[in-house]
Amino acid sequence: MSENAGRLGRRLSRILLLLPYAIQHPGTTAGELSRKFQIPKNELINDLNLVFLCGLPGYGPGDLIDVEFQEDRIYIRMADYFSAPLRLTPGEALALYAGGQAIAELPAMEEADSLRRALVKLGKALGADLGRDEAAAIKVRLDNSPERHLQVLQRGLSEHKQVEIEYLSSSRTEATTRNIEPWGLVATLGRWYVVGLDHLSGEERMFRVDRIKTSRLTDAPAEPPAEFDAERYKGAFIGREDQTVVTIEISPQAARWFEDYYPVRAARDLPDGWREVELLSSGDRWGATLALRLGDQVRNVQPASVLEAARGFAEAIARRYN
């Protein structure tokens, strides 16, 4: 996994380096780019073919970068935002610094010299000379952050120990304290999850790391199953007998982002442009809450018990504020 991430990172770095040059030198040849950036010609062509799929949000034909090959010459259009150095507002620069500092504090980042040098330069641009004036330094403190919980969970995995967590459940909207035997960490749907045996329910569970309020390594032993495969969890939750299958139809507007945020088990397009999606829920409450959040962007909620629960929530909210 780390090898693949490193390969993708190197490819992204290549693309970000060669794009400004190619934009400022229209008609440059593939051979010239290959020599200048020391990229094999076949990899260069593959990189430029990938650029076809990149652009600004909206991602319509007018938003994507246009790459044209005229024999051996290359012309890149619709990418003017790559032609000049990036200019950040002070707020954007501070957010970037805080994010970089948080990453630098993660385990296995002790030798990230390039990142630390970049942070020093960015800190000076923000007016904090980190090398001379400690009082002027920008300090980033992580309180109960997902990064800190990831460290505890990683220790639990490597040392085969249980972890006690205080977890905020989305379906019950309440925090519970439980001991889990961590089996693996999974990055999917844009978030980190820990999969393991939950001693509170006595069953296999999947917990979102950003919903963990506190975490503590215990001395109790934990051993993941020999057949555990983290890849099975990417893209969807594993079904259990006590889970509810929820089917809804979402509008074209909601369909643009919905599957990036929720664990969709199956989906299909409908003739009128809406999309039918199938999810797994721990009960009617979660599905009802989701239906309320979507409002007029959802229809045909199944099973009927989820729809009834949503109506009950809506009536309770109305009574409270009337």
CATH number, domain containing residue 178? 2.30.30
Ranges of beta strands (E only) in 28-72 are: 66-70
Count of CB atoms situated within 10 Å of the CB of 5: 10
What confidence tens digit (pLDDT) does each residue in 167-187 have? 886 545 578 899 999 998 877
Instruction: Quote the pLDDT of residue 86.
Output: 59
Instruction: Quote the pLDDT of residue 126.
Output: 77
Judge if 151 and 228 occupy the same domain: yes
Q: Where residue 3 falls among pLDDT bands split at 50, 70, 90?
A: very low
Q: 78 in a domain, yes or no?
A: yes
Query: What percent of the chain lies above the pLDDT cut of 70?
Result: 70
Judge if 197 and 124 occupy the same domain: no
Local structure of residue 224 (DSSP, 8 states): -
For residue 88, the SS3 value is coil
Instruction: Quote the pLDDT of residue 233.
Output: 62
Q: Where residue 276 falls among pLDDT bands split at 50, 70, 90?
A: very high
Q: 141 in a domain, yes or no?
A: no
Q: 239 in a domain, yes or no?
A: no
Instruction: Quote the pLDDT of residue 180.
Output: 94
Judge if 110 and 154 occupy the same domain: no
Q: 238 in a domain, yes or no?
A: no
Number of structural domains found in the chain: 4
Return the bridge partners of 302, or none.
Answer: 247
Instruction: Quote the pLDDT of residue 102.
Output: 64
Q: Could you give the CA distance from residue 10 to residue 56 in angstroms, rounded to a whole number?
A: 22
Judge if 124 and 158 occupy the same domain: no
Question: Of 231-235, 256-260, 288-292, which gets the smallest average pLDDT?
Answer: 231-235
Domain boundary among 36, 66, 82: 82
Judge if 70 and 114 occupy the same domain: no
What confidence tens digit (pLDDT) does each residue in 130-170 have? 555 544 566 665 444 577 888 899 899 989 999 999 988 65
Q: Could you give the CA distance from residue 130 to residue 128 in angstroms, rounded to a whole number?
A: 6
Judge if 106 and 161 occupy the same domain: no
Burial class (CB in 10 A: 0-12, 13-18, 19+), 31: exposed
Q: Could you give the CA distance from residue 215 to residue 179 in angstroms, rounded to a whole number?
A: 10
Domain CATH code at residue 302: 3.30.70
Instruction: Quote the pLDDT of residue 218.
Output: 95
Residue 73's H or E segment, with its range, is strand 73-77
Q: Of all residues in the chain, what percent are helix, strand and coil, respectively (each to 5)?
A: 45, 25, 30
Amino acid making up residue 175: A
Judge if 248 and 296 occupy the same domain: yes
Instruction: Quote the pLDDT of residue 4.
Output: 45
For residues 243 and 205, is the Cβ–Cβ distance under 8 A?
no
Q: Comparing 7 with 229, which gets the higher pLDDT?
A: 229
Judge if 172 and 203 occupy the same domain: yes
Q: Where residue 241 falls among pLDDT bands split at 50, 70, 90?
A: very low
Label residue 169 left, alpha or beta by phi (over 0 means left) and psi (-120 to 50 means alpha).
beta
* pLDDT, the chain, mean: 76
Q: How much is the average pLDDT of 82-109?
A: 67
Q: What angle do CA 54, 262, 229 make, to 5 degrees?
A: 90
Domain boundary among 66, 82, 98: 82
Q: 114 in a domain, yes or no?
A: yes
Instruction: Quote the pLDDT of residue 144.
Output: 47
Q: Could you give the CA distance from residue 196 to residue 207 in angstroms, rounded to a whole number?
A: 8
What is the model's pTM?
Answer: 0.38
Instruction: Quote the pLDDT of residue 166.
Output: 92
Residues 277, 259, 269, 271, CA torsion sign: positive
Judge if 158 and 226 occupy the same domain: yes
Judge if 259 and 299 occupy the same domain: yes
Count of CB atoms situated within 10 Å of the CB of 22: 25
Instruction: Quote the pLDDT of residue 238.
Output: 45
Q: Does 255 have pLDDT greater than 70?
A: yes
What confidence tens digit (pLDDT) does each residue in 38-94 have? 888 888 888 877 776 676 655 555 556 777 788 788 887 765 555 555 566 777 777
Q: 208 in a domain, yes or no?
A: yes
Return the bridge partners of 179, or none.
Answer: 164
Judge if 258 and 222 occupy the same domain: no
Question: Of 144-153, 167-176, 190-199, 260-269, which gets the smallest average pLDDT?
Answer: 167-176
Could you tell me how many helices (H) and strands (E) the chain has, helices first?
Answer: 10, 11
Instruction: Quote the pLDDT of residue 182.
Output: 93
Q: What are the Cα distances from residue 197, in Å, to 172, 184, 204, 205, 215?
A: 19, 11, 5, 6, 15
Domain boundary among 36, 54, 82: 82
Among residues 264, 263, 310, 315, the alpha carbon closest in space to that of 284 is found at 310
**Residue range of the domain that includes 281:** 244-321
Judge if 191 and 222 occupy the same domain: yes
Contact residues for 233 (Cβ-Cβ < 8 A; gap 6+): 184, 186, 188, 193, 195, 206
